[in-house]
Amino acid sequence: MYRETLKRKAALLVLAGAFLLFLIAGEQDRFGADGEMQEPQEAERLEISADDTEGEEQVLPQESWSLPGADAQIRVLLLSDSGSIYHESKELDREYPGTLDFYEENAGWVIVNEVPLEEYLRLVVPSEMPSGWAAEALKAQAVCARTYAVWQMQDYAYPEYEAHVDDSTSYQVYGSIDSQETTDAAVEATAGQILLYGDSPVKAYYFATSCGVTTDENIWEDGDSSLTPYIAGINVGESERVLDLTDEETFAKFIRSKRAGDLEISEPWYRWSAYVSLEQIQKNVEKWIQIRSAKSEQGILLEDGDDYVPTTRESIGAIKRAEIIGRNTGGVALGLLLEGTEGTLKIQYEYNIRLMLGVPGGAVHKNDGTDVSGGDLLPSGYFVLEEVFEDGVLSGYQIYGGGYGHGAGMSQNGARLLAEQGADYEEILNYFYTDVRLAILE
């Protein structure tokens, strides 16, 4: 759709250029017969009023959505600096719009901010996308953030406190940056607008940077791509053919090269590499195995005969080998085997896999030639492993990867680039989400 729009815009530019040449030909030539430039003549000044500089009147979506309404309030559980739901006191280090509800528990205070949805977005959009980016990208982000919030407001993430979401990356970052003029403008310009598919708001997932493709929501334990066909694996660029990257050899060839025409080919996180030692993988397992087992029922499984079962183990000993055993749409890793001296783990779903292969304190080499310090989480689940030997003994793996974030839904850097190329926010949204439409909250 976006490419067809560009063609129409290009045709209009050609016609406009031809008309301009016609007008110029009818005026006195500014150059003499000898080719010397003549002195410019005083031209008639065109007076432009402030009203004339305003853009065209915004066209609002024709369809409306009633639950929740335009005046809806979202309830946000505020996490402490440590990530806990409990605060030592009722004092906060910043002010919040709306009202604050305090719940005193044995472990501390639980604080919930009840705030109008549009005010909530004023603190979400700048926290999730740089305020200096193109206006149409910011508008696309505002619609995504509003839609995702509306989808979350169908239920409570923390029912005991009637909180729909918390303020972390588990939902949407809220309040890490104060509201900004440009992001406020994006929220206002799209006021009340959400994305629908069929008869429902969509799960408007977004992430930072693509590796040239996106994936579907089967990357998560509770994901079911049959229920969210609007989130599909697409090429993010000029290529019309979506490759089957679930095959290991095909994906390895893809991720270890750069594909001409990929929209984000020049972005720092389009490609990256890092080294992880077997010793570091063992540390990762011992740090995360019980935490993730508690949160992901089928994500951390221990080999038991011919089966793999949930485990409460603290370790599987020294790591001997790692192997990717499954890939989802777009090639993102979906299964990882870790063989240890005391057992073998099957790690499922991209987030768990990224934790087990994280390189905290290690170097990650980016597409732009710079190195950054790695963290607990690999930049993305789009990667391959290459064995590294020392004195003939496997010591670890060189990881070749691409993209930043989970890779499902809208790429934020991709949205920025499309906006810089002339796409409006509706075109951007239709680029990343399939068969969706805009509606407005009543």
pLDDT at 432: 97
Give per-residue pLDDT as tens, 50-102.
333 344 456 677 676 666 777 889 999 999 999 999 999 999 999 999 999 99
Q: Average pLDDT, whole number, for the chain?
A: 88
Record the tokens describing residue 351, joined without a space: 């987030």
Please check the confidence at residue 410 and state whether its pLDDT lies above 60: yes
CA 177 to chain CA centroid, Å, is: 18
Q: Which of 32-36, 130-134, 360-364 has the lowest mean pLDDT?
A: 32-36
Please check the confidence at residue 413 and state whether its pLDDT lies above 80: yes
Confidence of residue 41 (pLDDT cuts 50, 70, 90): very low
Confidence of residue 8 (pLDDT cuts 50, 70, 90): very low
Give per-residue pLDDT as tens, 179-222.
999 999 999 999 999 999 998 999 999 999 999 999 999 999 99
Q: Which of 8-22, 97-111, 272-286, 356-370 has the lowest mean pLDDT?
A: 8-22
Q: pTM for the whole thing?
A: 0.84
Give per-residue pLDDT as tens, 313-356.
999 999 999 999 999 999 999 999 999 999 999 999 999 999 99
Contact (CB, 8 A) for 395 and 192:
no
Task: Give the bridge partners for 31, in sequence order.
Answer: 37
Contact (CB, 8 A) for 215 and 420:
no
Rounded to whole angstroms, the Cα distance separating 117 from 96 reads 13
Please check the confidence at residue 11 and state whether its pLDDT lies above 60: no
Give per-residue pLDDT as tens, 217-267.
999 999 999 999 999 999 999 876 677 899 999 999 999 999 999 999 999
pLDDT at 241: 67
Helix (H, G, I), strand (E, B) or coil at 253: helix
- State residue 25 phi and psi, 5-degree precision: -60, -30
Q: Look at the block and give the residue holding tokens 């996490």.
A: 79
Give per-residue pLDDT as tens, 143-187.
999 999 999 999 999 999 999 999 999 999 999 999 999 999 999
Q: Look at the block and give the residue holding tokens 């783990």.
A: 345
pLDDT at 55: 47
Rounded to whole angstroms, the Cα distance separating 119 from 137 reads 19
Contact (CB, 8 A) for 422 and 7:
no
Q: Which of 10-24, 163-177, 296-310 has the lowest mean pLDDT?
A: 10-24
Rounded to whole angstroms, the Cα distance separating 328 from 308 reads 20
